[in-house]
Amino acid sequence: MCCSCSPDRTTWSSTSSPAPARPRTPCCWRTAPTVASAGRSRCSRLTRCPATRPRPRPGSPRWTRSLPPACARSRARSRRWCALAETYGLTWPGKKDALALAHTPPKGHLSTPNGRLDTVERSLGDVFIEGENLEVLKLLTPEYADAVKLIYVDPPYNTGNDPVYGDDYRDSSWLSMIYPRLVRARDLLTPDGLIAVSIDDHELHHLVTVMNEVFGEKNFITILNWRKRGTGGQVAKNAIINQVEYVVCFARDAAQLRLVGLPNENHGTARWRDFRKAGGQWQRRYRPKQFFPLWVLPDGSVSLTESPGAIAVHPTDATGEEGFWENGVPTTAERIDAGELRGRIIRGRWKIEQLEVAKQTTNAGNYLEIPSTRGTERLKALLGSVVLENPKPVELIHYLLHISDLRDGDVVLDFFAGSGTTGDAVLSWRAETGRDVSYVLVTSDHPVAAGTGAALAGFSTVAEIGLARVRAAADDVEALPPRTLKLVAD
Ligand SMILES: C[S@@+](CC[C@H](N)C(=O)[O-])C[C@H]1O[C@@H](n2cnc3c(N)ncnc32)[C@H](O)[C@@H]1O
């Protein structure tokens, strides 16, 4: 017999693929430092009983790879078993409890300044809720289930060094904190909804894996790379400046998600550019049908047919290597009729140019450059002093609002709202676009530490900062302030 481990020590990774039935002797588990994807890797045989193997540090998350059979069983049987059992995922001590927490009844109720509120009706419009977000998410569920088009959250990053936000979760407790909240958040998203979660490199890898589990790998959309600063400033010797943060994006259902490009500031502007295809696979062999002569007259007019005095121009580069035109013959004929092609002598050679009119939108990319100082500047502009060091810049949220194709009646939720950047962003975006989108912000009544800018400015909780900020931002665009609700213990 193998060992005396209790079933509790057997760690299953519960990914979307169902876990196989437990073996009768559940003690032969193996913690693998590397990750293997389901079914592809070969099962390695156990050589040591877990009772004699070093145990993982308590509290640290670990990757599980397989639940091999009892040590004494045959290799063939072991292989068969592992083919079933191997799975990919992340597990950690406390995961089961964290999931259970997502489904326990809410502890408390929401209250307005006038008393208890049994349902948070969507018709309330903009809402600011003070309280523990997991409980608030549960209380939002009946009314906001399947109703939130965009969730943006900026949870504590677990860096352990933010005196105001409170940002120090130990090891797997960060996972236990984020997991149930994502589970509840998923239920609030519309079928075509998007969730975007800010993170830095402390927990990026864990976040992506947990989100894969909650939302499904097929619903992964992208990781936005936000370059928030340059490399200037003082650093400890040999330190690397942390220039980038990430925004991990998942859809509730990628098949239904519709993201749109960004408004093109040059919309409608026209410019002439080379009609010969440039860049990438530009050589003739890639599009032989698009290699043909165009006839150009001294006045620059272009034709597909030869005429007296016309010069034949081929799509060749300066060295004479043959390429191809941007369009085939039929489209080229249409574009000539529309006046979109012209001939021009450039450096002694005739070239064909095409007219390009900038479209209404440009593609959205997953790389953004926004100085993080803009977040601080905006907060200072609204509240008069620097009460927090690292609020997100409004422009980062604007980007998400733009690409999410929000329409009248859509709701944006942020349940780690902090200083209320998301509310501020929705307010200015709504004023700019005229789209009737509302926000729901949730943030805790976490006290600010004594001696910080927030405390010196007279704020006692982060929620007070957030509320003051969105009130000021609403004032800025002549909108109504949000309804305020508070989580009250039963
Ligand atoms: C990183 S900050 C968010 C900053 C925000 N994006 C901004 O621009 O100001 C995270 C916020 O979530 C709050 N928070 C942390 N845990 C929470 C919880 N369980 N419930 C509600 N709010 C929480 C913290 O107090 C903090 O204000």
DSSP state at residue 158: S
Res. 181: pLDDT tops 60:
yes
Distance 167 CA to ligand 1 centre (A): 9
Of the pLDDT bands very low, low, confident and very high (cuts 50, 70, 90), residue 453 is confident
Of the pLDDT bands very low, low, confident and very high (cuts 50, 70, 90), residue 361 is confident
Judge if the beta carbon of residue 418 lies within 6 A of ligand 1.
yes
What span, in angstroms and rounded, lies between the C-alpha atoms of 276 and 88? 48
DSSP state at residue 337: H
The tokens for 160 are 């352990």
The tokens for 223 are 């990781």
Q: For the chain, where do the domains classified as CATH 3.40.50.150 start and end?
A: 103-259+366-488
Of the pLDDT bands very low, low, confident and very high (cuts 50, 70, 90), residue 61 is low
pLDDT at 78: 55
Report the topology of domain 103-259+366-488: Rossmann fold (3.40.50)
| Mutation choice for ligand 1 from 443, 452, 464, CB with most ligand atoms inside 8 A | 443
Distance 372 CA to ligand 1 centre (A): 17
Res. 163: pLDDT tops 50:
no
What span, in angstroms and rounded, lies between the C-alpha atoms of 468 and 462? 10
Nearest-atom number in ligand 1 for the CA of 391 is: 8
Res. 146: pLDDT tops 60:
yes
With beta carbons less than 8 A apart as the criterion, state whether 172 and 127 touch: no
Rg (CA), the chain: 29
3 state DSSP class of 254: coil
Greatest extent of the chain over all pairs of C-alpha atoms, in Å: 97
**Amino acid at position 430, single letter:** R
Nearest-atom number in ligand 1 for the CA of 181 is: 19
Of the pLDDT bands very low, low, confident and very high (cuts 50, 70, 90), residue 86 is low
Q: Whose CA is nearest to atom 12 of ligand 1?
A: 416
The tokens for 234 are 């003082």
| Mutation choice for ligand 1 from 154, 203, 416, CB with most ligand atoms inside 8 A | 416
Q: Choose among 97, 188, 190, 177: nearest CA to 139.
A: 188
Name the more confident of 361 and 431: 431
Q: Please give the C-alpha separations between residue 16 and each of 38, 211, 218, 306, 358, in angstroms, as whole numbers.
A: 11, 11, 11, 65, 44
Residue 52: is it exposed, middle or buried by C-beta count within 10 angstroms (0-12/13-18/19+)? Answer: exposed
Task: Give the count of alpha carbons within 13 A of 412, CB side only.
Answer: 29
pLDDT at 279: 84
Distance 156 CA to ligand 1 centre (A): 6
Encode pLDDT of 288-303 as tens digits: 999 999 999 999 999 9
For the beta carbon of residue 310, count every other beta carbon within 10 angstroms.
18
| Mutation choice for ligand 1 from 400, 419, 446, CB with most ligand atoms inside 8 A | 446
DSSP state at residue 321: -
Instruction: Specify the range with the lowest mean pLDDT, choosing from 54-68, 318-332, 354-368, 380-394.
Output: 54-68
Judge if the beta carbon of residue 156 lies within 6 A of ligand 1.
yes
Judge if the beta carbon of residue 132 lies within 6 A of ligand 1.
yes
Judge if the beta carbon of residue 447 lies within 6 A of ligand 1.
no
Judge if the beta carbon of residue 154 lies within 6 A of ligand 1.
yes
| Composition of the chain by helix, strand, coil, percent to 5 | 30, 20, 50
Of the pLDDT bands very low, low, confident and very high (cuts 50, 70, 90), residue 44 is very low
The tokens for 91 are 């597990």
Res. 15: pLDDT tops 70:
no
Distance 452 CA to ligand 1 centre (A): 16
Instruction: Specify the range with the lowest mean pLDDT, choosing from 3-7, 19-23, 61-65, 81-85.
Output: 3-7
- What does the chain come to in residues? 490
Distance 144 CA to ligand 1 centre (A): 21
Q: Specify the pairing of strand 311-313 against strand 294-296.
A: antiparallel
Distance 411 CA to ligand 1 centre (A): 19
* % of the chain at pLDDT higher than 90: 63
Name the more confident of 236 and 343: 343
Judge if the beta carbon of residue 416 lies within 6 A of ligand 1.
yes
Q: Whose CA is nearest to atom 4 of ligand 1?
A: 418
The residues pairing with 128 across neighbouring beta strands, listed in sequence order, are 441, 484
Residue 279: is it exposed, middle or buried by C-beta count within 10 angstroms (0-12/13-18/19+)? Answer: exposed
| Inter-helix orientation angle 421-433/394-403, to 10° | 50
Q: Whose CA is nearest to atom 17 of ligand 1?
A: 444
Res. 46: pLDDT tops 90:
no
Of the pLDDT bands very low, low, confident and very high (cuts 50, 70, 90), residue 159 is low
With beta carbons less than 8 A apart as the criterion, state whether 121 and 163 touch: no
Judge if the beta carbon of residue 165 lies within 6 A of ligand 1.
yes
For residues 395-421, average pLDDT = 96
Encode pLDDT of 261-275 as tens digits: 987 778 888 999 999
Judge if the beta carbon of residue 444 lies within 6 A of ligand 1.
yes
Centroid of chain to Cα 418:
18
Res. 476: pLDDT tops 60:
yes
Name the more confident of 44 and 413: 413
Of the pLDDT bands very low, low, confident and very high (cuts 50, 70, 90), residue 307 is very high
Distance 165 CA to ligand 1 centre (A): 6
What span, in angstroms and rounded, lies between the C-alpha atoms of 275 and 335? 11
Judge if the beta carbon of residue 391 lies within 6 A of ligand 1.
yes
Q: Please give the C-alpha separations between residue 428 and each of 97, 149, 182, 310, 403, in angstroms, as whole numbers.
A: 40, 18, 27, 57, 16
What span, in angstroms and rounded, lies between the C-alpha atoms of 468 and 168? 25
For residues 52-66, average pLDDT = 52
pLDDT at 264: 79
Judge if the beta carbon of residue 20 lies within 6 A of ligand 1.
no
Name the more confident of 489 and 63: 489
The contacts of residue 67 (CB under 8 Å, 6+ apart) are 10, 12, 20, 22, 23, 26, 28, 29, 30, 85
The tokens for 194 are 């998007």
Judge if the beta carbon of residue 392 lies within 6 A of ligand 1.
yes
The residues pairing with 230 across neighbouring beta strands, listed in sequence order, are none
The tokens for 214 are 């909650």
SS3 sequence, 218-238?
HHEEEEEEEECCCCCCCCCCC
Of the pLDDT bands very low, low, confident and very high (cuts 50, 70, 90), residue 149 is very high
The tokens for 289 are 């049908």
